[in-house]
Structure 1
Amino acid sequence: MSTNITWHPSLTRKERNTYRKQRGLTIWFTGLSASGKSTIATALEQHLLHLGLAAYRLDGDNVRFGLNKDLGFDEKSRNENIRRIAEVAKLFADSSTIAITSFISPYKADRETARSLHAAPGADPSDEPLPFIEVYVDIPLEVAEARDPKGLYKKAREGKIPEFTGISAPYEAPENPEILIKSHETSVEDAVRTITEYLQKKGYLGLAQ
């Protein structure tokens, strides 16, 4: 923790939501490599933008070209990778934007840390917690391996990629995600519809005009 710093308050979340005519939140996709997370997240982002909502997708590979290019794939680096993204997603959500993250995020503790960050009080005592919606894109390992669009599972089986999730490193599946998508049984369109209907039911899209 840095020292000699002071928090400078800004608008309350309610004020910012009112001005921007929507509520900020984070939709956190988790699942094995090749589960379809990024494909669904991209389609969801496009759909929300078409509805006139502010949305932005943070992709697991993309952020490693910049923000997290100094991190590897050992457990400690994975922890820090998710911590940073959780903080960035929270900033987007606090700005009344729908943050969409697509990360394997294999460890339950890291995902719980991300959730707890969103539940923390805002700059103003009147601020409500930021909604955090965990979307588990569930797929059998054998189906993910059969897809293997990047050839990563093959390399992992050959020992060329150490600590690869699902092969030589664990994936701790969510026990109670807000949304469960079995991507090997569900089309991208139906997955986006399921998520959008959940957001509408919860009233998270109600401020949009």
Structure 2
Amino acid sequence: MNVTMSGWVMSKATPYALALSARARASIKHQRPRCIWLTGLSGSGKSTLANALEVELNARGLHTYVLDGDNLRGGLCRDLGMSAEDRRENVRRIAEVARLMVDAGLVVIVSAISPFRADREAARQMFAPGEFSTVYVSTSFDACARRDPKGLYQAALEGRIRNFTGLDSPYEPPLDADWEVDTEATALPLAIHELLGFILSN
């Protein structure tokens, strides 16, 4: 069915076959495009790891981009709340953007709580085999609550925030993460060194 909007005739959901392949886009960057998906509780260290990892990859000449959940909540996902349905849609949108960036030839680092296994698996299924790696930042709830860099844990424990992950909204740890780090037990330089080694060797 064709729909007319502002003078344009649009057909529903008919993908246009682009002439340039994903391989061609990646070849001029001399890298293997992929998505590194960091999941874990708020305050676990995901954003810190993602930021430091991008700096290290950039220093090695790789073309990268970080999709940070907090940043996206201020733009692309600003209409979403914290219900299970909205969290699912949040992950779907992030995954769609990450997939397009991988198709453009980039190494994409996602930092998002993404609490539900089914949603993370749905994200993985958007990518070709070998293009998606799950990194579980397994820092405990207690350690994250002690850090509480944004005051969210205190607000949640006082009942001022509802549907807080790990408290009154569940977090489902990955059962098959490709890499895992506890940022309370592992210092940032070592964590980045080990994660970088994992990425560059896989």
TM-score, normalised to structure 2, is 0.91
Which blocks of at least 5 consecutive residues in structure 1 are unaligned? Answer: 120-128, 203-209
Q: Larger relative CO (CA 8 A, sep 6+): 1 or 2? A: 1
AA of the residue aligned to 2:19: S
AA of the residue aligned to 1:170: P
- Could you say which residue in structure 2 is the equivalent of 1:131? 131
Residue 6 of structure 1, CA deviation? 3.3
Q: How many residue pairs end up in the alignment?
A: 192
Moved more, 79-88 or 8-17: 8-17
1:79 to 62, 81, 88: 88
In structure 2, distance between residues paired with 1:110 and 1:141: 21
SS at match of 2:125: helix
AA of the residue aligned to 2:142: E
- Could you say which residue in structure 2 is the equivalent of 1:199? 199
**What do you get for the CA RMSD once the two structures are aligned?**
1.3
- Could you say which residue in structure 1 is the equivalent of 2:21? 12
SS at match of 1:176: coil
C-alpha contact 2:69 2:111 (8 A) present in aligned 1: yes
Percent identity, aligned pairs only, is 44
AA of the residue aligned to 1:194: E
1:151/1:26 Cα in 2 relative to 1: closer, same or farther (>3 Å)?
same
1:59 to 68, 79, 95: 68
In structure 2, distance between residues paired with 1:181 and 1:10: 41
Which blocks of at least 5 consecutive residues in structure 2 are unaligned? Answer: 1-10
C-alpha contact 2:155 2:161 (8 A) present in aligned 1: yes
Post-superposition Cα deviations, 1:40-92, rounded to whole Å, max 9, x if no partner, equal 11000111111111111011110111111111111111000000000001111
1:4/1:197 Cα in 2 relative to 1: closer, same or farther (>3 Å)?
closer
- Could you say which residue in structure 1 is the equivalent of 2:126? 117
1:156 equivalent in alignment to 2:156: yes
AA of the residue aligned to 2:181: I
AA of the residue aligned to 1:112: E
In structure 2, distance between residues paired with 1:169 and 1:200: 35
AA of the residue aligned to 1:157: L
Post-superposition Cα deviations, 1:135-190, rounded to whole Å, max 9, x if no partner, equal 00011211111111111011111111110000110000001100001111111111
SS at match of 1:155: helix
TM-score, normalised to structure 1, is 0.88
Post-superposition Cα deviations, 1:14-48, rounded to whole Å, max 9, x if no partner, equal 22221221111000000001100100110001111
AA of the residue aligned to 1:118: F
In structure 2, distance between residues paired with 1:99 and 1:162: 31
1:4/1:117 Cα in 2 relative to 1: closer, same or farther (>3 Å)?
closer
In structure 2, distance between residues paired with 1:153 and 1:37: 16
AA of the residue aligned to 2:114: S
Residue 3 of structure 1, CA deviation? 1.7
